[in-house]
Homo-oligomer: A and B are copies of this chain.
Amino acid sequence: MNALAAGQATESPLLRKLHGFMGTSAADVRALQLLSTRLHHAAAGKSLVEQGTASRSALLIESGWAMRHRCLSDGRRQIMEFLLPGDFCDPSSFVTCSADSTIAAITPMTYCLVAPESLLEAITHSPRLGVFLWWLESQHASMMRSHLSAVGRMSARERVAYLIWELTRRLDLVLPVPPAAYTLPISQEMMADGTGLSVVHVSRTLARLQREGVIHRHGQTYQILSTVRLRALAQIESDWPQSLPADVLTSMNV
């Protein structure tokens, strides 16, 4: 445990998550390094995975933001999720023929392509890492359900509040210390396509949240002035993410 010295802490955002939830042994760090070979770069706007193509590798995001989206025939676009540093996305591409959505860089990015064999090898070296990744995946599914709830049943004000809350909480997991103000490198058009609203209405809604003193915004810098009211708007009752249940690790002999 605690093979993570202060200086190394900035290395990998996924390692930071792992460390925050389960602590890290030297074996975990080594296993994680097995995933982090083959570092790639992408310019903002570039597609990492194109809808309809096969990829057969997972993505481990080291830095920068991306999004997963799908376009309808007439140009309407739904952003399914924003992908942040430390996200391990799309291991299910290992068992699918072709991607059902496009993943595109929002900012310049660095990321690793993880082959099935690398993942298998890493998990063999550190089963704890395997459990952790499985747990991450389950938290991800839970987040997608929250997103669906927001888009399906919440008002514009609530949806925007939810989005800000989700993104800032996710950033907390990979930032060394919760910042006073968060930089969310997404345009209002992306917010609109993520929440199912129009650009114009997102602008108005953000202005309203600011007028009401829930947030303060300047460009892409967001400051949460009232956590209580933001959470209430976003209909968040329990904290996220859940912690990893202790008995899972013991019961799996890892």
A residues apposed to B, CB below 8 Å: 52, 54, 68, 70, 72-73, 76-78, 80, 92-98, 100-101, 116, 131, 134-135, 137-139, 141-142, 144-149, 151-154, 193, 195-196, 235, 237-238, 242-245, 248, 251
Contacts and interface: CB of A to CB of B under 8 A. Distances in A.
B235 A73 contact: yes
Contacts of A196: 151-153
Contacts of A101: 145
B138 A72 contact: no
Contact of A144 (B95, B134, B144): B144
Contacts of A139: 96
A92 B148 contact: no
Given A92-B141, A144-B148, A151-B196, 8 more contacts: A76-B153, A77-B153, A78-B152, A92-B137, A94-B134, A96-B142, A97-B243, A144-B144
A114 to B, nearest CB: 15
Query: What is the count of identical protomers in the complex?
Result: 2
Q: List 7 tightest A-B contacts by C-beta distance, closest first.
A: A92-B138, A152-B196, A78-B149, A95-B135, A78-B153, A100-B142, A151-B152
Given A72-B154, A154-B72, A95 B138 contact: yes
Nearest to A197: B152
Contacts of A151: 148, 151-152, 196
A138 B96 contact: yes
B134 A95 contact: yes
A223 B36 CA distance: 51
Given A138-B92, A151-B152, A153-B72, A145 B244 contact: no
B96 A148 contact: no
Contacts of A237: 73
A149 B92 contact: no
23 contacts: A54-B245, A70-B145, A72-B149, A72-B154, A76-B153, A78-B148, A78-B152, A80-B148, A92-B134, A92-B137, A92-B141, A93-B138, A94-B248, A95-B138, A96-B138, A96-B245, A97-B244, A98-B242, A100-B142, A144-B144, A144-B145, A151-B151, A152-B196
